Amino acid sequence: MRSRFPLGHLPVFAPEVLRSERTFLYRRVLDQQRRVLGVGEVSVADRPTFDRDGKVKDWAMGHLTYEALHSIHDLPGDAAQDFPSSRWFIPRWVIEWQGDDAVLFALPGDEAAGLAFGQKLKSTQPSAYRPDPIEWTSGTDQGRYLERVDRFLQHIQRGDIYEVNYCIQRKASDPSFDPFVAFAQLDAGTDAPFSAFYRLGDRFALCASPERFLGFKGDHVLAEPMKGTRPRGADPKKDAELVEELANDPKERSENIMAVDVMRNDLSMTAAPGTVEVRSLCEVRTYPRVHQLVSAIVSERAADRDPWDVVRAAFPMASMTGAPKLRAMQLIAEAEDQPRGLYSGTLGFFAPDGTADLNVVIRTILFDRATGDLSLSTGSALTALCHPAQEWEECALKAHSVLNVLGHVG
């Protein structure tokens, strides 16, 4: 049982306090006014363990890469080289915020060191970010992209699939890149509701995700697939026009509704009969740099299933694959130039009180400190109604929503 120590008012999280730590995960859950930071690792496993009530004994924090689908769905394919396919750690210390008030949870015998870390967290302020002129290049040129899109559209016309999420990657290299100050700038500049900062050895993820994969509260499950994007307008009038345009765009709505249908099916595999329900459909949510079309599906977990069963049944998330899901994943594996890795996976936590939150790893810079390599992947959903050139522009819009915050070019 962990000891609980209130840290008081702590509105600002300074990532620099984590420089000496080799493993950590910071996650934000904006709609709950909740933030969680797990530091260090006491033990590691490839999945969390749950009791008969569907709760973890202690905090479990970690990730699934997109390529975890190979073991979940028994599909052939290459694993990515950036992160293990599934890794979950019990942290040495946990700091949890509700609003601006923070509490530290320390293991027995480690209270003094935990409190010292908590005081360091309180006294550290974010450094000013000075962007280096990093230039990013796309690993897939526009001509190749349009050829791949045309191939996907042929599959759609034949009825093999109805929707598929096709992704491309931008790359850069900068051994002097500072992920700690960059994440502070990215988090402040995007105000992303499901952001994350993750380190595993020399690998970092700076995540400005606007999308939840799954949320848990006891037996209650919430999924929020997101499909449909517009930029923010230059003035209130233009902004309102873009909201109206997104809300009523037939192509964007069809993408979203298809993702909802897939997620409803996925949740039904682990839900108590009759409990899967669409709570909201195609709702526009506004963020500092983009508008997004989001739906919400809820269910109650069946008594003979635990939260990991729910995760396995729904992963990879519908918004990053397509419909039908299995065939879409097969075509994605054939078409994309590299494994997705942590991109399109999830970062999240399971808490001992029965709550959990898992995001969708999008709008995310991945950094390898050992090589100086950076990557940023983006994608869009392709349907029979799509316009290929506009899909290329949507990928660019999503990339720029991250890179512009950091003063990067690409």
Write down the residue that tokens 């028994």 correspond to: 74
Asked if residues 34 and 27 have their Cβ atoms less than 8 Å apart, the reply is: no
Asked if residues 335 and 147 have their Cβ atoms less than 8 Å apart, the reply is: no
Percentage of the chain with pLDDT > 90?
89
41 has pLDDT over 80: yes
pLDDT of residue 130: 75
73 has pLDDT over 90: no
pLDDT of residue 289: 79
Domains of the chain with bracketed CATH: 3-406 (3.60.120.10)
Asked if 244 is an active-site residue, the reply is: no
Q: Please state, in angstroms and rounded to a whole number, the distance separating the CA atoms of residues 336 and 377.
A: 11
pLDDT of residue 116: 96
Asked if 252 is an active-site residue, the reply is: no
pLDDT of residue 78: 64
pLDDT of residue 290: 83
pLDDT band at 178 (very low <50, low <70, confident <90, very high): very high
Q: Which residue in the list 227, 252, 255, 336 is annotated as catalytic?
A: 227
Q: Reply yes or no: is the peptide bond before residue 316 cis, omega within 30 of 0.
A: yes
Nearest Cα to Cα of residue 85 among 28, 37, 39, 47: 47
pLDDT of residue 82: 79
- Helix 236-248 × helix 250-268 angle, to 10°: 60
Please compute the mean of the pLDDT values over residues 94-112 and round it to a whole number: 97
Number of H helices, E strands in the chain: 9, 22
29 has pLDDT over 90: yes
30 has pLDDT over 70: yes
pLDDT band at 79 (very low <50, low <70, confident <90, very high): low
Alpha-carbon dihedral sign for residues 89, 93, 94, 100? negative
Query: Beta partners for 28?
Result: 35
Asked if residues 223 and 307 have their Cβ atoms less than 8 Å apart, the reply is: no
Please compute the mean of the pLDDT values over residues 259-278 and round it to a whole number: 98
Write down the residue that tokens 């959990």 correspond to: 356
CB count, 10 Å around CB of 112?
9
173 has pLDDT over 90: yes
Asked if residues 348 and 359 have their Cβ atoms less than 8 Å apart, the reply is: yes
Torsion of CA 361, 366, 368, 369, to 10 degrees: -110
Q: What are the C-alpha distances in Å from 216 to residues 299, 308, 404?
A: 10, 11, 33
Give me the amino acid identity at 186. L
128 has pLDDT over 90: no
Q: Which residue in the list 41, 67, 211, 391 is annotated as catalytic?
A: 211
Q: What is the pTM of this model?
A: 0.95
70 has pLDDT over 90: no
In whole numbers, what is the pLDDT of the chain averaged over residues? 94
Q: Please state, in angstroms and rounded to a whole number, the distance separating the CA atoms of residues 336 and 320.
A: 13
281 has pLDDT over 70: yes
SS3 60: strand
